[in-house]
Amino acid sequence: MSQSDVGTAEARKTEQVPQWKQAEIDELSAFLERFDSVGIVGIAGIPSRQLQTMRADLHGQATLRVSRNSLMERAISAVDEGLIDLMDHVAGQVAFVGTNDNPFALYRELEASKTPAPISADEVTPNDIVIPEGDTGVDPGPFVGELQQVGAAARIMDGSIHVTEDSTVADAGEEVTADLANVLGELGIEPKEVGLDLRAVFSEGVMFDPDELDIDVEEYRADVEAAASRAQALSVGAAYPTAQTAGTLLAKGTGEAKALGLFAAVENEKLMPDLVARADAQLRALATHLDDDVLPEELRGATVETSATADDESNESADADAEEQDDEEDPETNDADTDTDADADDDDDDGGDALGAMFG
């Protein structure tokens, strides 16, 4: 707001106003001071009954206060807590909105409360208007010509009027003609949304525009969770203790200390069970490679023998499966291997004769 506007606002404060107006200004000022977040919402085009319904739906989350624009401006100037920028948005049919929730939650709530509504002639459409492909359900008659006149691809099929393809009949920002408004009304198409249009919110010293409040909450939550996870990983990796990572760091340190103690065979009361178990396993593994007659009584018996036998049987089974698989995969190769083995036997015989001749 320019300096001249501020000066005008200050001048208005000092003007003599009727008592009823001053009472209204005082109530509006108290309204602005009562909430953590206050803003301006547009209410143009909302029928009175629907506005009352919206007020009821917002109960407990936000409060609306409708008044004259001039009195709203005086109230903003009277509060004088950085709200002066809200005055730029006091134009047309507007109201104050107040909440103790954050501005993002307020924006989501107001957007969710919007409902589809028909559009009238001479109104500017806020978005493209498309008549979808399909059966209109209207009997053959003049309506097919009305559809074609507004730009829809329409024809009579199977005893009713059909739109043969999605047809854009108005672009965003265009004025709606009377003919188009009638066609849309006949088809039950409601191309606009009616609701409280948030223009700006002031909260904790910061002015927010609607574009700044329109965020994807789920995506934002995922980003925060990912950042928190990376920060925790960095803190643990750098051994930087915080209230959130102290438990993880202690658990990690305990595990590393135990691993070091086992590796160095440190005799410690907490490590002894693991050390004894590891030594026992190593001893039994060694015992499987020795004959029973050289082993002490406690290492002889079914456990060691069964283990060895199971290993032998497993190895024999694996070898048999491997041989069988080789035979099935390449019989020719198997025959070639047989010939090779015969040649090898011949070579062995020749080698034996040569050694006999060498040593007499």
Dihedral in degrees, nearest 10, Cα atoms 124, 130, 135, 137? -10
**What six digits make up the tokens of 109?**
């709530």
Q: What is the pLDDT of residue 292?
A: 72
Verify that 28 and 163 share a domain, yes or no: no
Domain containing 11 equals 3-114+195-215
Of the two residues 296 and 51, the one the predictor is more confident about is: 51
Confidence band for 5, pLDDT divided at 50, 70 and 90: low
Residues 44 and 179 in one domain: no
- Give a yes or no: residue 121 inside a domain: no
270 falls within a domain: no
User: Which tens digit of pLDDT belongs to each residue from 274-312?
Assistant: 888 888 888 888 877 777 776 777 776 534 333 334 344
Mean pLDDT in the chain?
80
Residue 162: CATH number of its domain: 3.90.105.20
Residues 107 and 150 reside in one and the same domain: no
In a domain, 343, yes or no: no
Q: Is residue 337 one of the residues assigned to a domain?
A: no
- Beta strands, E only, 100-185: 115-117, 129-131, 134-135, 154-157, 160-163, 167-170
Averaged pLDDT for residues 22-35: 93
Tell me: do 67 and 178 sit in the same domain.
no
Specify whether 97 is located in the same domain as 21: yes
Instruction: Say yes or no: 71 and 208 in one domain.
Output: yes
- Number of domains observed in the structure of the chain: 2
What is the arithmetic mean of pLDDT over 250-274? Answer: 87
Comparing CA positions, the residue from 28, 32, 200, 204 lying closest to residue 110 is 200
Q: Identify the domain boundary among 215, 248, 263.
A: 215
Q: Is the pLDDT of residue 37 over 70?
A: yes
Q: Model pTM?
A: 0.52
> Could you tell me if 184 and 206 lie in one domain?
no
Check residues 11 and 207 and name the one with the higher pLDDT.
Answer: 207
Residues 148 and 183 in one domain: yes
Q: Could you tell me if residue 43 is inside a domain?
A: yes
Q: Quick one: 64 and 199 in the same domain?
A: yes
How far apart are alpha carbons 143 and 133 in whole angstroms? 16
User: Is 206 inside any structural domain?
Assistant: yes
Main-chain dihedrals φ then ψ at residue 62, nearest 5 degrees: -155, 160
Q: Is residue 147 part of a domain?
A: yes
CA gap 12, 6 in Å, rounded: 10
Residues 40 and 158 reside in one and the same domain: no
CATH number of the domain enclosing 88: 3.30.70.1730
pLDDT digits (tens, 9 = 90+) for 319-351: 444 444 444 444 444 444 444 444 444 444 443
pLDDT of residue 51: 86
Q: Is residue 16 part of a domain?
A: yes
In 100-225, beta strands by DSSP E: 115-117, 129-131, 134-135, 154-157, 160-163, 167-170, 192-194, 197-203, 206-208
Q: Residue 223 has what pLDDT? A: 92
% of the chain beyond a pLDDT of 70: 78
Query: Of 146, 181, 215, which one is at a domain's C-terminal end?
Result: 215
The residue out of 190, 207, 228 marking a domain boundary is 190
Same domain, 23 and 85: yes
Q: Do 65 and 202 have their domain in common?
A: yes
- The pLDDT of residue 163: 94
